[in-house]
Amino acid sequence: MLSTVRAGTRRGISGLGNHIGRATRRSSVGGQSQFRSSSSEAVAPAVHFSAAPDTVPIPEKPQRITISEIKERRARAGRLVAPTAAPSDADMFKGSTTGKPKAKRWDHHLTHESTLRAPCKLKQAARHLKQPGIISLGGGLPCPEYFPISSLSLHIPIPPNFSESDTLSGGGGETVTIGKYDAASTNQPAAEYDLSIALNYGQATGSAQLTRFVTEHVELALGAPPYADWGVCLTPGSTAALEQTLRMLCDGVGRRDTLLTEEFAFSTALETAAPLGVGVVGVPMDGEGILPREMERILAEWKPEERGGRRRPHVLYTVPSGQNPTGATQGVERRREVYEVARRWDVIIMEDEPYYYLQMGQPGEQQKASRGVEEFLEGLIPSYLSMDVDGRVVRMDSFSKVVVPGSRLGWITASAQLVERFVRHAEVANQGPSGFSQVILHKLLDERWGHEGYLRWLMHLSEEYTRRRDVMVAACSEFLPKEVVSWNPPRAGMFHWLKVRHELHPDATSKSILEIEEEIFNRCIAKGVLVARGAWFRADQDKPPSGLYFRTTFAAATPDNMREAIRRLGEAIRESFHL
């Protein structure tokens, strides 16, 4: 039942590996869950808030496992045998969950669309393929004989020497090769993945091979959630994960949902929600992101009749670390408070964390030169996942900012119930991420670097971005007029958010904030610097803006160009303000 083995192909693998064999299956929610008619909820939104709040305490700190525990676990499990389109899930690879409670049920959060999803008939039939000797004339999977690529090689750095120039010159780094039939080759007993598997059709969850890596990575770097039945699903990037999760949780028609998010929010998230008819309400922020008391206030004071009939929000979308666009990072206490508000009001948290590993100290703060990976992990602000006693967090991870955006590869971590609904959608939305991306990242991260090498890479990246952040903050101090521009040095990510005191502008009484913002933006363009306008990120596009902001990034330009660009921005602001 667990492994799709196609008899009669050249690979001819018919055994089931330890991992695949010892998996426990989650029961599918597909058949049972009921779509709850929601027209009544729109006017009487308090139904599922009336239960007494649970009192299970949030764990003090993340329960991380160690790299040596992962090594022991893999040694015990033996070689992973997962041939073409083998089903897999996190349960096959994660540590013991004995004694942990199960996640709550979230049926009342699911959209009509999500509830209607049924498993793919052809993929279900694959369960018959576990029968020894069966020949499949069932699924239309091409024979790998017809894949016109017989091997793929990558030149990559060897940790801890991540210098691009060393690797490019050919003197450093190593070349590693992925063959077509490595996993079946007697010459390569350790090989568990190859082109014949990765380049054929797979499961919408992604491959077992990469699922193992990300499951272990979650337990190692974030700590397993404090409930038992969590799972993962690989995605074609967090853009896809965001849209799929929204369609799973937010109905634009029928019950007419509204999404809570930061007052200034990732513009793509806003552009994803709008065509679905999903409303968006921005939660006021400070330097640490959304304010729990403001989130509480919005929920407590929500009146559908004042909100065009929309029911009280039940989903929060947040970027806790290095938020886009404000660069704000929620500290651990802030996250706990937000989580408690979410519990009280039965809110699902969509935790979008592309910049999580790009956490930084204060500018000028010296990083210990000989930091170990344990120290690095201990220094990370805990993920909502690690506090998630209810199973109400859907965390989105992505390799875009920390490996390459072009991989279009990431994953979600959430309760098994939500992952199952998500997978049903992935089967018809995209069939999971590219096999090229999966097999290349598996070779790099799992086979060559391993967890330790990957963590060292993340440390390296966070140091690089810290250096860039420091250049930008120093340039701002040097070139921006402090009497009208202020900022908090970002503690994570790629973005620096500048607040401009519009009320001091000579035209403050005759021009709107948007007009002043546009005037400064155009001056910037004329002077040769492109910045992002704060207005592009306003969650409530209909409300007048509360302030004048610009977003800059320290991700892309060289240090010299960054300084020059900030100098031009400073000139533009000074001229506009007649300073």
Residue with tokens 């100098």: 567
- Comparing CB distances to a copy of itself, the nearer of 194 and 351 is 194
Q: Return d(Cα 393, Cα 350) in angstroms, integer.
A: 6
Among the listed residues 219, 216, 211, the one whose alpha carbon sits nearest the alpha carbon of residue 62: 219
Q: Return d(Cα 542, Cα 534) in angstroms, integer.
A: 14
Per residue in 254-281, is it b (16+ CB within 10 Å) or e — as a string? bbbbbbbbbbbbbbebbebbeebebbbb
- Comparing CB distances to a copy of itself, the nearer of 254 and 481 is 254
Per-residue tokens: 355:
């910049």
- Comparing CB distances to a copy of itself, the nearer of 344 and 499 is 499
Cα-Cα-Cα-Cα torsion 358, 362, 365, 371, nearest 10 degrees, comes to: -30
3-state secondary structure of 290: strand
What residues form DSSP beta bridges with 158? Answer: 161
Q: How far is the CB of 143 from a copy of itself (least distance, A)?
A: 6
Among the listed residues 365, 534, 383, the one whose alpha carbon sits nearest the alpha carbon of residue 462: 365
Per-residue tokens: 250:
């937010």
Rounded to a whole number, what is the distance in angstroms from the first to the last CA of the chain?
73
- Comparing CB distances to a copy of itself, the nearer of 240 and 377 is 240
Q: How far is CA 37 from CA 30, 33, 107, 244, 455, in A?
A: 17, 13, 12, 21, 46
Q: What are phi and psi of 240, to 5 degrees?
A: -65, -40
3-state secondary structure of 20: helix
Q: What angle do CA 558, 564, 567 make, to 5 degrees?
A: 140
Q: How far is the CB of 187 from a copy of itself (least distance, A)?
A: 13
- Radius of gyration, alpha carbons of the chain: 25
Q: How far is the CB of 572 from a copy of itself (least distance, A)?
A: 12
Residue 489, amino acid: P
Q: How far is the CB of 192 from a copy of itself (least distance, A)?
A: 16
Q: How far is the CB of 101 from a copy of itself (least distance, A)?
A: 31
Per-residue tokens: 283:
């939660």
Q: How far is the CB of 323 from a copy of itself (least distance, A)?
A: 12
Q: Does an H or E element contain 176, and which?
A: strand 174-179
- Comparing CB distances to a copy of itself, the nearer of 104 and 112 is 112
Q: How far is CA 58 from CA 35, 54, 219, 387, in A?
A: 31, 11, 17, 5
Q: How far is the CB of 557 from a copy of itself (least distance, A)?
A: 4
What residues form DSSP beta bridges with 260? Answer: 281, 316
Please spell the DSSP secondary structure of 456-494, one letter per residue.
Answer: HHHHHHHHHHHHHHHHHHHHHHHHS-TTTEE----SBSS
